[in-house]
Amino acid sequence: MSAALFEYLLRLGDNTLVLGHRVSEWCGVAPALEEDIALANTALDFIGQTQMWLAYAAEVEDKGRDADALAFRRDVWDFRSLLLVEQTNGDFGKTLMRQFLFDAFNVLNLTALVGSADVRIAEIAAKSVKEAQYHLERSRETVIALGDGTQESNRRMQKALDVLWPFAGEMFVVDAVDTEMQKAGIGPDLAALRGEWVAIIQPVLTSAMLTLPESDFAHKGGKTGVRHSEHLGHMLATMQFLPRAYPDAQW
């Protein structure tokens, strides 16, 4: 049980860590000052959520590690982030599309987790879900605006959707860990969330004049850690540089 719970918490915390890191890469170079501030805000929310998820994961693991040790001292194969959140930022359109696809999932997942049988998870979810709702509101509006904006912005948003779509399906893939969490009343039935997720994104994409790709092919391997993207290793090389180079230092 505690092994599965640890695994499950890593998935939650690694998604927010990796996506938070990605979004933070925009700091200082966003298309407008308002967007710069909003992206930093999103990144900050994710880093805050990461602190909560990984601190709890470390407690459950009970091997003397803390949230920072989990974030900065694990290598790629020990990460449990979705392939979607590992994808590079690309242009602003790709960043916002990635955000939108994840936000819609995140709101549904966290809403379910607010009712989790695990009190700590329920508490963290309750704190995070409001932030997630706000992120979704913003990414939804931006996807609509850019999809509906100019020909060029529509073209870029469609391309972003096409590129990211094969990474979306992994969010709803259920494995033994998910099943165990569901049986214990800790986590939701992810497969069942998919319908609700489509109900959120479909009308947005329609308003944005974007076409949902036909194929439902989904890359897998991120959340199980079996096969991450090449991008993750580069991200960790940057992110973990200081704690790795100066293992005895306190910061």
Partner 1 sequence: MYAQMIKSEATLDDPEKLAAFQARIDAGDKIEPKEWMPEGYRKTLIRQIGQHAHSEIVGQLPEGNWITRAPTLERKAILLAKVQDEAGHGLYLYCAAETLGVTRDEMTEMLLDGRMKYSSIFNYPTLTWADMGAVGWLVDGAAIMNQVPLQRTSFGPYSRAMVRICKEESFHQRQGFDIMMKMCKGTEAQKNMAQDALNRMWFPSLMMFGPSDKDSTHSVQSMSWKIKMNTNDELRQKFVDQTAPQAEYLGLKIPDETLAWNEEKGGYDFAEPDWDEFFEVLQGNGPCNVERIEARQKAWDDGAWVREGLMAHAEKRAALKEAAQ
Q: Which residues bind partner 1 (CB under 8 A)?
A: 17, 21, 24-25, 27-37, 40-41, 43-44, 47-48, 50-51, 54, 67-68, 71-72, 91-93, 142, 144-146, 148-150, 152-154, 156, 238-239, 241-243, 246, 248-251
CB of 169 to partner 1, least distance (A): 28
Residue placing its CB nearer to partner 1 in the complex, 50 or 229: 50
Residue placing its CB nearer to partner 1 in the complex, 58 or 83: 58
Residue placing its CB nearer to partner 1 in the complex, 181 or 204: 204
CB of 150 to partner 1, least distance (A): 5
> What secondary structure does DSSP assign to 91-144, as a single string?
SHHHHHHHHHHHHHHHHHHHHHHTT-SSHHHHHHHHHHHHHHHHHHHHHHHHHH
Among the listed residues 99, 125, 124, the one whose alpha carbon sits nearest the alpha carbon of residue 112: 125
Total number of residues shown for the chain: 251
Residue placing its CB nearer to partner 1 in the complex, 77 or 246: 246
The token duo for 73 is: 């001292």
CB of 54 to partner 1, least distance (A): 8
Cα-based distances in Å from 120 to 55, 57, 96, 158? 11, 11, 30, 39
Tell me the C-alpha distance between 15 and 9, whole Å: 10
Tell me the C-alpha distance between 15 and 200, whole Å: 20
DSSP designation for 76: G
CB of 190 to partner 1, least distance (A): 26
Opening angle at CA 71, ends 56 and 221, nearest 5: 95
Among the listed residues 200, 175, 174, 190, the one whose alpha carbon sits nearest the alpha carbon of residue 104: 200
Residue placing its CB nearer to partner 1 in the complex, 30 or 200: 30
CB of 78 to partner 1, least distance (A): 17
Tell me the C-alpha distance between 193 and 13, whole Å: 20
CB of 238 to partner 1, least distance (A): 5
Residue placing its CB nearer to partner 1 in the complex, 200 or 239: 239
CB of 79 to partner 1, least distance (A): 15
Residue placing its CB nearer to partner 1 in the complex, 35 or 196: 35
The token duo for 126 is: 């309750």
